[in-house]
Amino acid sequence: MSIAAPIAPPVERENYLNKEYGVGSWLLTTDHKRISLLYLLSITFFFFIGGFFALLIRLELLTPAGDLVQADTYNKLFTMHGMVMVFFFLIPSIPAVLGNFLVPIMIGAKDLAFPRINLLSWYLYVIGGVMMLHCMLTGGVDTGWTFYVPFSTAFTNTKIVEAGLAIFVAGFSSILTGLNFIVTVHRMRAPGMTWSRLPLFIWAMYATSIIQILGTPVVAITIVLVAVERTLHLGIFDPKLGGDPLLFQHLFWFYSHPAVYIMILPSMGVVSEIIACFSRKRIFGYNFVAISSISIAVFGFLVWAHHMFVAGISVYAALMFSLLSYSVAVPSAVKVFNWTATLYKGSIRYDAPMLYAFGFLGLFTIGGLTGLFLACLGTDVHIHDTYFVIAHFHYIMVGGALMGYLGGMHFWWPKISGRLYPESWARLAALIVFIGFNLTFFPQFILGYVGMPRRYYQYPPEFQVLNVLSTAGATVLGVGYLLPMIYFLWSMRYGKPAPDNPWNAAGLEWQTQSPPTTFNFETEPVVTWEAYNYEELDAPQAGGPH
């Protein structure tokens, strides 16, 4: 890339970005595309905050002694890292950015069903975020993102109620987004867009939304109970007053397990779109992939107590939850097989989005397989609450969800911004992320099995080598994440203007302008073709494959 004068398109067409200028036109917008950009800014901000905490954690863990920060500070660091990453980055990320932008366009609608509620969603997120920021700046929380009782209700002096309320408010944002998506998919599809013609990204967003609306209220009421117990010294969870600390864990995990599917399903949807486009063919087993998304959402609600195998639940409950946990592994495996099979007899290109999709395939496979170790009662007793668990969920959340998010951002960047990102830098960044990621988290599987517990800031000296490897990887990973930030921003001014369909991809979003107009379509589309109609797009009279 050469830093020349900013390149403006020869004649700039009216689109959702330049239709109106001014802060008011952004802060009071009801355009789903502008709202998605508002979200993009906010979640990126919180990603870097969460990432900063992660950096400090890894720096502390370079040495066995607790010598960088104090114990209390470290406890706040991993708590805030978790809370920020889970509630203010991962859960909103794809739904609020890519979902908001693409769901209406992909189904041929002008906007979501409830545009004003969409804007309200964003404001709720921001309010929750500001509350969380304030909480962090005035002392933070040190309970772990899981804020188990009775520590969080009766023993800690940190700002539980404030953090809880921040999450409560952000939770409402999540609920409203899910509600909006479900109604939109049911009621706003263009003529001819039947359920079986929907892109798999829409199926994934639909499944995610079901979890959002049914699960989030439960963690909301749990937070209310914790806040009330803490302020009024009640005994709902406190055993000294007749309460049950395990009740908290059940209520908490009833949401927080499905929550991890909120975090991964959208990413799976993105991967479906990318693999189809860069293999130039329909996803193998479309029906099975679509049904798998719904199955994961449903089964995900039945397995929560696999976080509690050594918590004091009965042996029979443990058996049941372990068995059910294996059932939820099957649809995930089915998806991986279907994506792999899609590559067969495809016509594959290695653009950056596809590299992220490949990365997803590998890392999600490893992360998912290590879930089998945890669902297995015999091994879970040993590896529960150790670094094995941390490695497992980071493989899925970072190796899976985040790779999918980055892949999606690259894939749809031309549509969103009207510019092309620099391809070589993007491929380099994908490679750096992949290498850095594995170096950071693979040693943690070993660390967990040899016995290093979670949430430890000092550890026995024999664990140091693995910790140093992990920290080295984290530094590389950090560089990998900074690169896209830089070149996406760069591309907004200096990137080549994007054609309407740079990838010659299937999907209604590629039939619109890059960037789209405010109402997306000049005329309402009437859909007469199946999803992923690549044989038509690549047919010789259409210009052939690019």
Partner 1 sequence: MTDISTTATAGNVPTDAHEDTHAAHNPALLHHFATEEQQRDAASLGMWIFLATEVMFFGGLFCAYLIYRGWYFGDFAAASTSINAFLGGTNTAVLICSSLTVVLAIWAAQTSRRGLLLAMLALTMLFGCAFLGIKGFEYKDKFDEHHVPGPSFSFEHEPIPGHPGQYANPQHAEIFFALYFIMTGLHALHMIIGLGLFTWLFWAAWKGRFTPEYNTPLEMGGLYWHFVDIVWIYLFPLLYLIDRH
Partner 2 sequence: MFDNFPLWPDRASTAAGNVDALFIFLIIVSGLMTALIFTTVVYFAARYRRRRGVLAEQIEGSTPLELTWSIIPMFVFLAIFAWGAVLYFKSRTPPRDSAEVYVVAKQWMWKLEHAEGQREINELHVPVGRDVKLIMTSQDVIHSFFVPAFRMKQDVLPGRYTVAWFRATKPGTYHLFCTQYCGTQHSGMIGSIIVQEPAQYEAWMSGGATGPLSATGEKIFAELGCATCHRTDTQGRGPNLQGVFGKPVQLEDGRTVTADENYIRECILDPGAKRVKGFQPIMPTFQGLVSEEQVNALVAYVKSLSPPLAAGTKTASAALPQDQDTNKTAGSQVQ
- Stated as kind and residue range, the H or E segment containing 490 is helix 464-494
Residue 194 in the binding site for partner 2 (CB under 8 A): no
Residue from 122, 201, 261, 373 touching partner 2 (CB under 8 A): that is: 373
- Choose, by CB under 8 A, the member of 7, 27, 41, 381 that binds partner 2: 381
Cβ neighbours of residue 101 closer than 8 Å, sequence gap 6 or more: 32, 33, 36, 412, 415, 416
Residue from 54, 96, 109, 198 binding partner 1 (CB under 8 A): 109
Distance of CA 507 to the CA centre of its chain: 22
Q: Is residue 241 close enough to count as binding partner 1 by CB under 8 A?
A: yes
- Residue 2 binding result from partner 1, partner 2, none, given CB thresholds of 5 to 8 Å by partner type: none
Q: Is residue 218 a contact point for partner 1 (CB under 8 A)? A: yes
Residues 6+ apart with CB under 8 A from 384: 309, 310, 374
Tell me which residues in 517-536 interact with partner 1 (CB under 8 A).
519, 521-526, 528-529, 533, 536
Give 179 or 277: the residue with its C-beta nearer to partner 2.
277
Residue 84 DSSP one-character state: I
What are φ and ψ of residue 13, in 5° steps? Answer: -80, 155
Instruction: Tell which positions 418-457 bind partner 2, by CB under 8 A.
Output: 446, 449-451, 453-457
Interaction partner, residue 188 (partner 1, partner 2, none; CB < 5-8 Å by kind): partner 1
Write down the least CB distance from residue 380 to partner 2, Å.
8
Closest approach of Cβ 111 to partner 1, in Å? 4
Query: Judged by CB under 8 A, how many residues of this single chain contact partner 1?
Result: 56
DSSP letter for each residue of 458-474: S--GGGHHHHHHHHHHH
Of positions 9, 191, 312, 453, contacts partner 1 by CB under 8 A: 191
Which of 309, 356, 441, 510 contacts partner 2 by CB under 8 A?
309
Residue with tokens 């491929």: 427
Instruction: Find the shortest distance in angstroms from Cβ 253 to partner 2.
Output: 14
Q: Read out DSSP for 128-188?
A: HHHHHHHHHHTT---STTTT-TTIIIII--S-HHHHHHHHHHHHHHHHHHHHHHHHHHHH-
d(CA 189, CA 66): 57
What CA–CA distance (Å, rounded) separates 170 from 87? Answer: 7
Each as own residue / partner, the long-range contacts of residues 511-516 (CB below 8 Å, 24 or more positions apart, any chain) are: 512/105, 512/415, 513/13, 513/15, 514/414, 514/415, 514/418, 515/15, 515/16, 515/17, 515/33, 515/415, 515/416, 515/417, 515/418, 516/15, 516/16, 516/33, 516/105, 516/415
Total residues interacting with partner 2, rule: CB under 8 A:
96
Taking CB under 8 A as the rule, does residue 187 contact partner 1?
yes
Asked if 310 is part of the footprint of partner 2 (rule: CB under 8 A), the reply reads yes
What is the identity of the amino acid at 410? H
48-67 residues in contact with partner 2 (CB under 8 A) are 66
Assign 3-class secondary structure to 391-449: HHHHHHHHHHHHHHHHHHHHHHHHHHHCECCCHHHHHHHHHHHHHHHHHHHHHHHHHHH
Residue 542 touches partner 2, criterion: CB under 8 A: no
d(CA 420, CA 433): 21
Give the three-state DSSP class for 364. Answer: helix
Q: Which is nearer to partner 1, 229 or 380 (CB)?
A: 229
**What per-residue string of b and e applies to 281-290 under the rule 16 or more CB within 10 Å gives b?**
bbbbbbeebb
Q: Of partner 1, partner 2, none, which one sits near residue 352, judging by CB under 5 to 8 A according to partner kind?
A: none
Binding region for partner 2 (CB under 8 A) out of 15-23, 120-128, 201-209, 241-249: 241-249
Q: Which is nearer to partner 2, 214 or 469 (CB)?
A: 469
One of 44, 365, 504, 511 touching partner 2 (CB under 8 A): 365
Chain positions 318 to 357 lying near partner 2, rule: CB under 8 A, are 318-319, 322-323, 326, 329-330, 333-334, 336-338, 340-341, 343-350
With CB under 8 A as the contact rule, the residue among 188, 377, 435, 468 that binds partner 1 is: 188
Residue 72 interacts with which of partner 2, partner 1, none, CB < 5 to 8 Å by class = partner 2
Q: How far is the CB of 169 from partner 1 (least distance, A)?
A: 14
Note whether 214 binds partner 1 by CB under 8 A.
yes
Q: Is 15 in the site for partner 2 (CB under 8 A)?
A: no
Q: Decide if 501 contacts 418 (C-beta within 8 A).
A: no
Contact partner, 113, from partner 1, partner 2, none, Cβ < 5-8 Å per class: partner 1
Verify binding: residue 75, partner 2, rule CB under 8 A. yes
Distances (CA, A) of 416 to 23, 326, 433, 482, 538: 19, 39, 23, 20, 24
Among 27, 71, 130, 479, binds partner 2 (CB under 8 A): 71
Entry field: residues in the chain: 546
The answer to whether residue 191 forms part of the interface with partner 2 (CB under 8 A) is no
Positions in the binding site for partner 1 (CB under 8 A): 109-115, 175, 179-180, 182-184, 186-188, 191, 213-218, 220-222, 224-225, 228-229, 232-236, 241-244, 247, 251, 254, 506, 511, 519, 521-526, 528-529, 533, 536-537
